[in-house]
């Protein structure tokens, strides 16, 4: 079984590096075009389970990529940035110079443990399904999901750079969880 990850297409805030969790932004025209460009690649594979974050940008990407009936899974929502919603890392670091989402405190947002717990549920669901699963979600959430797939602490998600409208694949090598493709 494999777990295919698709990050949503570009939005105004993803293009400018603004942290976007609960703010429901539409895709930019370029984001729609990128999502449509994923359709031929994803159509070559059969998925037994297709899930999407509840956010419009993920659901729209799923629809334009050929999966308008993807099942909404709240556990795939982006990491909640709390007070840091809508601002960039550089702006956050003006008051907290060492801050990262992976190791820093996010006032009013989710903790790494909270994010890890819900993404572990996504992994358990995909693995119990038994077939190949496709998910549409967000940059930090998918990077964290990859770390958890590998059995790593969520902070290791910082090592998995992920562009918009890309496909990544997680699988197994002799029962060992592995990354088979990333950010392609």
Positions marked active-site:
8, 78
Query: Which residues, 6+ apart, have CB-to-CB distance to 148 below 8 Å?
Result: 116, 119, 120, 123, 154
Helices 139-149 & 112-129 angle (0-180, nearest 10)? 70
- Asked whether the beta carbons of 62 and 136 are under 8 A apart, the reply is yes
Q: Distances in Å between the alpha carbon of 48 and those of 19, 40, 76, 102, 173? A: 32, 18, 17, 32, 21
CA–CA distance, 45 with 41 (Å, rounded to integer): 8
Q: Are 4 and 38 in contact (CB under 8 A)?
A: no
Helix (H) or strand (E) holding 165: none
Instruction: Report which of 95, 80, 50 is spatially closest to residue 68, judged by C-alpha positions.
Output: 50
> Distances from the Cα of 77 to the Cαs of 14, 97, 136, 140, in angstroms?
15, 27, 10, 10
């Amino acid at each position: 079984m494999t777990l295919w990850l698709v990050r949503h297409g570009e939005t105004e805030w993803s293009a400018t590096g603004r942290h976007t969790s609960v703010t429901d932004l539409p895709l930019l025209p370029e984001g729609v075009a990128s999502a449509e460009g994923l359709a031929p690649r994803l159509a070559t594979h059969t998925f037994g389970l297709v899930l999407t974050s509840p956010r419009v940008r993920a659901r729209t990407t799923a629809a334009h990529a050929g999966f308008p009936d993807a099942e909404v899974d709240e556990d795939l929502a982006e990491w909640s940035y709390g007070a840091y919603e809508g601002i960039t890392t550089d702006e956050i670091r003006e008051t907290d110079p060492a801050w990262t989402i992976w190791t820093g405190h996010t006032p009013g947002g989710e903790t790494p443990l909270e994010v890890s717990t819900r993404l572990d549920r996504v992994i358990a669901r995909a693995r119990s399904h038994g077939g190949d699963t496709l998910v549409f979600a967000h940059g930090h959430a998918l990077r964290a999901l990859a770390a958890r797939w590998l059995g790593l602490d969520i902070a290791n998600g910082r090592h998995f750079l992920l562009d918009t409208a890309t496909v990544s694949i997680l699988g197994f090598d002799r029962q060992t969880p592995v990354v088979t493709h990333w950010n392609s």
